[in-house]
């Protein structure tokens, strides 16, 4: 069995066009889209890393949707 390569258009279809997709994306954004930084020494550092990891998944999904929409949000310094 051959596995189909997942494309940015697949993310767009799932999260923007399928029934329930926009609501799922909204829920993911609400849960994992908060600010990553947490002050407070070592405990704050651990929570910051944890939140950054969660946020990176959301950022990837949103980036794929943007690619499907022709938006290039990569910023080069």
Please write the tens of the pLDDT for every residue from 36-64.
999 999 999 999 999 999 999 999 999 99
- Whether pLDDT at 77 is above 80: no
Torsion 50-44-29-13 (CA) sign: negative
In a domain, 44, yes or no: yes
Q: What is the count of structural domains for the chain?
A: 1
Tokens of 12: 């767009």
In a domain, 75, yes or no: no
Helix ranges (H only) for 8-69 are: 8-12, 21-32, 41-68
Range name among 12-16, 29-33, 69-73 with the lowest pLDDT average? 69-73
In a domain, 35, yes or no: yes
pTM: 0.81
With CA atoms as reference, report the closest residue to 52 among 65, 39, 66, 33: 33
């Amino acid at each position: 069995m051959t596995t189909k390569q997942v494309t940015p258009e697949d993310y767009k279809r799932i999260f923007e066009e399928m029934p329930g997709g926009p609501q799922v994306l909204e829920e993911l954004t609400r849960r994992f889209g908060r600010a990553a930084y947490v002050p407070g020494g070592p405990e704050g550092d651990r929570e910051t890393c944890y939140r950054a990891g969660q946020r990176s998944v959301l950022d990837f999904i949103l980036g794929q949707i943007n690619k499907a929409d022709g938006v290039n949000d990569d910023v080069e310094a």
